DNA sequence: CTGAAAGCGCTAACAC
DNA sequence: GTGTTAGCGCTTTCAG
């Protein structure tokens, strides 16, 4: 392995000078810098991150602790986080907990051992242990997208309550009164806030609710399909479903179609997130759009600021940044209930 | 920060003993081990990965260099890779190049500086520079899913040629003769191999081909939509399209529907990968299924073996593991060309 | 089985 | 501007 000493020797300077060159410190005479860089190129010298961080106590490493990368909402966010951390010279450690608290703890330990500079947390733990453990170790933390029941860390998310409210409001305006709500995992703040908005809309409109219309879908396909099947084969099945995320909404559509129900004529479906596939015409999902990319960028920017600036206000007073959402009306929400059935969707429209 | 010395002092042993305990070396007397572990818990000691790897020269870090995490085929694979690396005590550095060679080079440099133990490479560079640079540095490398034109590294992939052959064969058997092929990015081995299989099928069946039926879709939605629009508005538009991946196939469906074409009656569509959404009933995409999870697991296992075992045969004779694929017939490929139009898909079947 | 000393590759602090 | 010295936290010899 080529070390800084080898470079120094060959360039006829001290190791410190090489270090100064590598770190772009402007104290080196141009001629010297040039010579050193030449030797670096020749020897293909690459500084050891381990050695460097042992002394600087900064690893240039960011962790991303997330619940489930298979949720199609994530890749967009991962890309944004990756690209921004990379631009700033940091590398990204991906920690996919699979919603397993044991895995999460293991990841937290590894992140501490790696002495990462900061962690973006978007995992499930309703108790929020990870954030606490990490920040007590002096590791910067930003809660992202979801948050524990009570928390005192910086947080970037979207207006879930408002989104739930406008989705439900829209379905009510279309004349629906039997609307089911598809929950995510228990304890998930996103699901609970979306449900809160949903409930507020129904309450304000004097539409009665009962427990049977609140279903657990678990944010994933498998469980959602079971739950949807049970719901849609009931005699008093709802005329509309608002799912706490798009994955579940699409699972509901899937089940409905297989049961011979037409979407939206027999069942209106609304989701949340606006994942990429939602806008494709075979799906055409009406959904609450959250700007996943912007949210990810905001969170990353905030984290990097916290890492770099020890006097950042976020160190004293946790910042809570809530981004707006917007209802995207597409095909699956249909028209007014009781309207004459409109011309079917594209596949048959040319028949 | 609490160091190994603090623990040693408090436990009344030498640092070496603490080290032995931490690394589960069976040379410590149980009583001593117990006492040390107690102190570790009390002090919340976590060994510094930086310090450790400075001396052991192993970072317990794996890099994953990939072209575009937004391709829905990736999350499944990322999950498999992440879970397996994690189980083995490694962390995963995610390097999303966005198909940009400059970014790729930058990532390669960072991976070298981090002295990662190994890298799974699934990025675009047709020249395969990354793999060469890394392995010359003694970093283990496994090519994954795609590969450069010429290469001499371990490789895990699927039978793209065979998949292309059976997809095309199936469309031919249905009576199609005007079949377009949607290419991925130029130079991508997956796209080229799939095309090769497609061509072989047409050749063997004596179906003439001309350049106009080979279209660049670039593996992404935007470009694919443009290309599909151009193709489908031609007077002699094809009756079937085989896309080099599912994302492009769905983009084609999307465009077709918007143009008022029925899928599959007016246009049969076949994809490649079998991404999760492909099997949902609103999509129902006929596609060549590759077992993404198994492929990812094989690649990770091979890489970890190479990292751990300096005598692994893969160090001498590069291993090439090609996994089988299987055609998944669903809705979008339709029935025989010229057959009386069958009853439309579920949405209208109850009308 | 445990302890002492050396050193991994780098940078911070201080000389010059 | 540049060189020298010390030491980051750990593991690896090698003694005991």
* Domain identity same for A247 and A269: yes
CA of B20 to C1' of D7 (A): 23
Tally of domains within chain A: 3
Token pair of A68 as six digits: 């489930």
Burial of B18 (0-12, 13-18, 19+ CB in 10 A): buried
CA of A108 to C1' of D15 (A): 39
Instruction: Determine the pLDDT at residue A27.
Output: 86
Instruction: Determine the pLDDT at residue A178.
Output: 95
CA–CA dist B212, B350 (Å, integer): 40
Task: Give percent helix, percent strand, percent coil of chain B, each to the nearest 5.
Answer: 45, 15, 40
Instruction: Determine the pLDDT at residue A86.
Output: 96
CA–CA dist A217, B277 (Å, integer): 17
> pTM here?
0.93
Here the CATH number for the domain that contains residue B230 is 3.40.50.2300
CA–CA dist B205, A262 (Å, integer): 41
* A54, A110, A262 member nearest B347 (Cβ): A262
Read off the pLDDT of residues B164-198 as tens digits, 9 standing for 90 and up: 999 999 999 999 999 999 999 888 999 999 999 99
Residues in chain B: 351
* Domain identity same for B242 and B93: no
Average pLDDT over residues A235-249: 95
* Domain identity same for B145 and B272: no
Burial of B16 (0-12, 13-18, 19+ CB in 10 A): exposed
Read off the pLDDT of residues A87-133 as tens digits, 9 standing for 90 and up: 999 999 999 999 899 999 999 999 999 999 999 999 867 678 899 99
β pairing state of B214-216 and B268-273 = unpaired
Secondary structure of residue B300 in the 3-state scheme: helix
pLDDT category of residue A224 using cuts at 50, 70 and 90: confident
Put simply, the answer to whether B70 touches A74 (Cβ < 8 Å) is no
Average pLDDT over residues A171-197: 95
Residue B75 CB coordination number (10 Å) = 23
* Domain identity same for A223 and A297: no
Average pLDDT over residues A194-198: 98
pLDDT category of residue B1 using cuts at 50, 70 and 90: confident
CA of A13 to C1' of D5 (A): 16
Nearest Cα residue to A306 out of A114, A94, A157, A153: A153
Which residues of chain B lie closer than 8 angstroms to A72, CB-CB?
72, 75, 276-277
Beta carbons of A6 and A45 less than 8 angstroms apart: yes
Residues in chain A: 351
Instruction: Determine the pLDDT at residue A124.
Output: 65
Instruction: Determine the pLDDT at residue B340.
Output: 54
Q: Taking all atoms of strand C, which protein residues have CB closer than 7 Å?
A: A 1, 3-5, 15-16, 18-19, 22-23, 45, 47-48, 51-52, 54-56; B 8, 12-17, 20, 27-29, 32, 51, 54-55
Token pair of B307 as six digits: 């990292």
Tally A–B CB contacts below 8 A. 191
Average pLDDT over residues A321-344: 81
Q: Is residue A349 part of a domain?
A: no
Read off the pLDDT of residues B191-232 as tens digits, 9 standing for 90 and up: 999 999 999 999 999 999 999 999 988 878 888 899 999 999
Q: Is residue B77 part of a domain?
A: yes
* Domain identity same for A69 and A132: yes
List alpha helices for B44-100, DSSP H.
Answer: 49-56, 74-87
Instruction: Determine the pLDDT at residue B347.
Output: 43
Contacts of B84 (CB under 8 A, 6+ apart): B296, B297, B300, B301, B304
Q: Which domain holds residue A302?
A: 59-158+293-323
* Domain identity same for A275 and A335: yes
Token pair of B282 as six digits: 């609103």
Which residues of chain A lie closer than 8 angstroms to B261, CB-CB?
350
pLDDT category of residue A339 using cuts at 50, 70 and 90: low
Q: Is residue B137 part of a domain?
A: yes
CA geometry: angle B220, B347, A259, nearest 5 deg: 110
Which residue in chain B is spatially nearest to A97 when comparing CA positions?
A: B83
Token pair of B89 as six digits: 């005590």
* Domain identity same for B335 and B253: yes
B286 beta partners:
B270
Closest CA–CA distance from residue A75 to any residue of chain B (Å): 5
Report the 3 state secondary structure along chain A: CCCHHHHHHHHCCCHHHHHHHHCCCCCCCHHHHHHHHHHHHHHCCCCCHHHHHHHHCCCCEEEEEECCCCCCCHHHHHHHHHHHHHHCCCEEEEEECCCCHHHHHHHHHHHHHCCCCEEEEECCCCCCHHHHHHHHCCCEEEEECCCCCCCCCEEEEECHHHHHHHHHHHHHHCCCCCEEEEECCCCCHHHHHHHHHHHHHHHHCCCCCCHHHEEECCCCHHHHHHHHHHHHCCCCCCCEEEECCHHHHHHHHHHHHHCCCCCCCCCEEEEEECCHHHHCCCCCCEEEEECHHHHHHHHHHHHHHHHHCCCCHHHCCCCEEEECEEEECCCCCCCCCCCCCCCCCHHHHCC
Instruction: Determine the pLDDT at residue A347.
Output: 43
* Domain identity same for A259 and A317: no
The answer on pLDDT for B336 being more than 90 is no
Q: Is residue A53 part of a domain?
A: no
Which residues of chain B lie closer than 8 angstroms to A79, CB-CB?
68-70, 96, 98
Read off the pLDDT of residues B125-158 as tens digits, 9 standing for 90 and up: 767 889 999 999 999 999 999 999 999 999 999 9
CA of B55 to C1' of C9 (A): 9
The answer on pLDDT for A341 being more than 60 is no
Q: Is residue A351 part of a domain?
A: no
Which residues of chain B lie closer than 8 angstroms to A229, CB-CB?
none
Q: Which residue in this structure is represented by tokens 């052991």?
A: B56
For testing contact with chain B, the best of A1, A41, A86, A331 (most B CBs within 10 A): A86
Q: Is residue A261 part of a domain?
A: yes
List alpha helices for B96-159, DSSP H.
Answer: 101-113, 129-136
Question: A33-37, A113-117, A180-184, A218-222 — which is least confidently predicted?
Answer: A218-222
pLDDT category of residue B30 using cuts at 50, 70 and 90: confident
Instruction: Determine the pLDDT at residue A222.
Output: 83
First to last CA, chain B: 71
Secondary structure of residue B325 in the 3-state scheme: strand
* Domain identity same for A41 and A16: yes
* Domain identity same for B209 and B335: yes
Mean pLDDT over the full length of chain A: 92
* Domain identity same for B123 and B189: no
* Domain identity same for A262 and A314: no
Read off the pLDDT of residues B62-87 as tens digits, 9 standing for 90 and up: 999 999 999 999 999 999 999 999 99
Give the strands of the sheet with A240-243, arranged side by side.
Answer: A214-216, A179-183, A240-243, A268-273, A286-290, A325-328
Give the strands of the sheet with B325-328, arranged side by side.
Answer: B214-216, B179-183, B240-243, B268-273, B286-290, B325-328
Q: Name which residue leads in pLDDT, B333 or A339.
A: B333
Average pLDDT over residues B83-102: 95
Read off the pLDDT of residues A82-92 as tens digits, 9 standing for 90 and up: 999 999 999 99
């Amino acid at each position: 392995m080529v070390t800084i000493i080898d470079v120094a020797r060959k360039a006829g300077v001290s190791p410190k000078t090489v270090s100064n060159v590598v770190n772009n410190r402007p104290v080196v005479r141009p001629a010297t810098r040039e010579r050193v860089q030449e030797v670096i190129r020749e020897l293909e010298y690459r500084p050891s991150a381990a050695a460097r961080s042992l002394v600087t106590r900064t690893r240039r490493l960011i962790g991303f602790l997330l619940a489930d990368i298979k949720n199609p909402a994530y890749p967009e966010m991962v890309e944004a986080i990756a690209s921004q951390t990379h631009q700033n010279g940091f590398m990204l450690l991906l920690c996919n907990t699979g919603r397993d608290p044991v895995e999460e703890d293991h990841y937290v330990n590894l992140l501490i051992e790696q002495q990462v500079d900061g962690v973006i947390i978007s995992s499930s733990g309703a108790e929020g242990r990870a954030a606490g453990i990490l920040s007590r170790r002096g590791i910067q933390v930003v809660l992202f997208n979801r948050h524990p029941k009570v928390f005192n860390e910086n947080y970037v998310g979207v207006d879930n309550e408002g989104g739930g409210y406008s989705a439900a409001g829209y379905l009510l305006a279309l004349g629906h009164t039997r609307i089911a709500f598809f929950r995510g995992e228990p304890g998930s703040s996103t699901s609970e806030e979306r449900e809160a908005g949903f409930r507020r809309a129904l309450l304000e409109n004097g539409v009665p609710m009962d427990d049977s219309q609140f279903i657990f879908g678990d944010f994933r396909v498998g469980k959602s399909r079971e739950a949807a099947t049970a719901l849609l084969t009931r005699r008093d099945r709802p005329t509309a479903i608002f799912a706490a995320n798009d994955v579940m909404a699409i699972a509901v559509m899937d089940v409905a179609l297989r049961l011979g129900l037409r979407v939206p004529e027999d069942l209106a479906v609304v989701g949340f997130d606006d994942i990429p596939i939602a806008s494709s015409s075979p799906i055409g999902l009406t959904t609450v759009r959250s700007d996943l990319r912007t949210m990810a960028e905001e969170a990353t920017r905030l984290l990097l600021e916290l890492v770099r600036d020890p006097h950042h206000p976020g160190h004293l007073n946790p910042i809570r940044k809530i981004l707006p959402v917007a209802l995207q009306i597409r095909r699956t929400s249909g028209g007014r209930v009781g309207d004459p059935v409109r011309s079917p969707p594209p596949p048959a429209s040319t028949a």
